[in-house]
């Protein structure tokens, strides 16, 4: 599970050139604009990542002007997103340990998401994606969230040869077949499995690509995972005329492994499906490489890049800060 709020060490404090009362705190791969003299290098603090949704509590009221959000379901809170403060990029929120209950003892790396009442901000789901739920996404198929590069120790991927694909702005979808030629197709969003209905967009995509028929042609039980984009999905960022699915991984349910890149490419090509676009990365500065124009529509900023190794054992995402500043 993603640690939306955790105990992190302040790696450094940098002056803010445009504000005498502000400083920039470096926390792992993140930078956060903070009030001057609030923290010093080496301090432990509570770090809340972007996408955190903080509850309505007195200690968070200072966020109301810029972060208050009322959701369609009626819940309210404070959403953290990528912003610029006096011209400097700031991502997340740094809070002193005094924000925690006085009886709590914590150490570096501890997850304090629940203690702070933080949940993950999720964009409202369009009505056409709100189908009849069969249950939670099956446990035998992994969820598709990659870790952000800012949260990873560089030693985990240093020296590795990674390939890059475009991270698409849509909604995650998983199609799986369990039971071979006698099995039935399962269709899932990011968190839920859905019953087949005429108007559910996930199932419309499954029928459009004839996925049940195609998966029954394969040996074994396979889950295909991709990004659903297009008309009616997240504002149709790429201005497509219809819904489309671009696949980024395949999972062998029996073996409990993601297919290595060569096997995945062969499988998707064999089934006549689309893969997420490959992107040539020119440097190993992954955050800088994340910026650029989309392969699908070169008039819009791409959301970012996903980096994987050929064996599909390493997977990380670098979200473009240019995209975040324009679209969050």
Average pLDDT over residues 263-269: 97
Q: Is the pLDDT of residue 299 over 90?
A: yes
Q: Which CATH superfamily includes the segment(s) 127-327?
A: DNA ligase/mRNA capping enzyme (3.30.470.30)
Domain with CATH 2.40.50 in the chain: 5-120
Q: How far is 308 from 144, CA to CA, in rounded Å?
A: 13
Q: Please give the pLDDT value at position 222.
A: 94
Q: How far is 328 from 322, CA to CA, in rounded Å?
A: 10
Evaluate whether 267 touches 250 at the Cβ level (below 8 Å).
yes
Q: Please give the pLDDT value at position 1.
A: 62
Q: Please give the pLDDT value at position 156.
A: 87
Domain with CATH 3.30.470.30 in the chain: 127-327
Q: Please give the pLDDT value at position 157.
A: 87
pLDDT (tens digit per residue) in 10-53:
999 999 999 999 999 999 999 999 999 999 999 999 999 999 99
Using only C-alpha atoms, what is the Rg of the chain?
21
Q: Concatenated DSSP letters for 244-313? A: EEEEEEEEETTTTEEPPHHHHHHHHHHHT-EEPPEE---SS-HHHHH-SB-SS-TTSB--EEEEEETTS-
pLDDT (tens digit per residue) in 228-263:
999 888 889 999 999 999 999 999 999 999 999 999
Pairing relationship of beta strands 76-79 and 12-15 according to DSSP bridges: unpaired
Q: Is the pLDDT of residue 127 over 80?
A: no
Pairing relationship of beta strands 184-188 and 171-178 according to DSSP bridges: antiparallel
Q: What is the pTM of this model?
A: 0.89
Percent of the chain with pLDDT over 70: 98
CA atoms within 13 A on the CB side of 233: 26
Assign domain 5-120 one CATH number from 2.60.40, 2.40.50, 2.40.128, 3.40.50.
2.40.50
Evaluate whether 33 touches 85 at the Cβ level (below 8 Å).
yes
């Amino acid at each position: 599970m993603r640690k939306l709020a955790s105990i992190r060490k302040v790696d450094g404090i940098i002056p803010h050139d445009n504000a005498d009362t502000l400083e920039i705190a470096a926390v792992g791969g993140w930078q956060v604009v903070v009030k001057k003299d609030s923290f010093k290098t080496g301090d432990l603090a509570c770090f809340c990542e972007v996408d955190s949704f903080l509850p309505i509590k007195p200690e968070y009221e200072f966020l109301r002007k810029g972060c208050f959000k009322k959701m369609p379901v009626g819940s309210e809170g404070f959403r953290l997103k990528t912003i610029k403060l006096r011209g400097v990029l700031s991502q997340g929120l740094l809070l002193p340990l005094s924000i925690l209950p006085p009886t709590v003892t914590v150490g570096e790396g501890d997850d304090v998401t629940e203690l702070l009442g933080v949940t993950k901000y999720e964009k409202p789901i369009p009505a056409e994606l709100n189908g009849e739920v069969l249950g939670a996404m099956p446990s035998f198929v992994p969820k598709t969230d990659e870790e952000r590069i800012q949260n990873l120790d560089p030693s985990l991927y240093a020296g590795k040869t990674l390939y890059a694909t475009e991270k698409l702005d849509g909604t995650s979808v998983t199609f799986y077949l369990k039971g071979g030629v006698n099995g039935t197709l399962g269709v899932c969003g990011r968190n839920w499995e859905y019953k087949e209905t005429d108007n559910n967009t996930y199932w419309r995509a499954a029928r459009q690509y004839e996925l049940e028929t195609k998966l029954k042609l394969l040996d074994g039980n396979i889950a295909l995972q991709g990004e659903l984009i297009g008309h009616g999905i997240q504002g149709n960022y790429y201005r497509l005329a219809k819904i489309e699915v671009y696949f980024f991984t395949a999972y062998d349910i029996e073996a409990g492994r993601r297919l290595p890149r060569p096997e995945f490419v062969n499988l998707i090509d064999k089934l006549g499906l689309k893969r997420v676009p490959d992107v040539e990365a020119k440097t190993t500065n992954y955050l800088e490489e994340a910026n650029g124009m989309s392969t699908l529509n070169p008039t819009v900023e791409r959301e970012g890049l996903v980096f994987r190794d050929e064996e599909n054992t390493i997977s990380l995402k670098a979200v473009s800060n240019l995209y975040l500043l324009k679209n969050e």
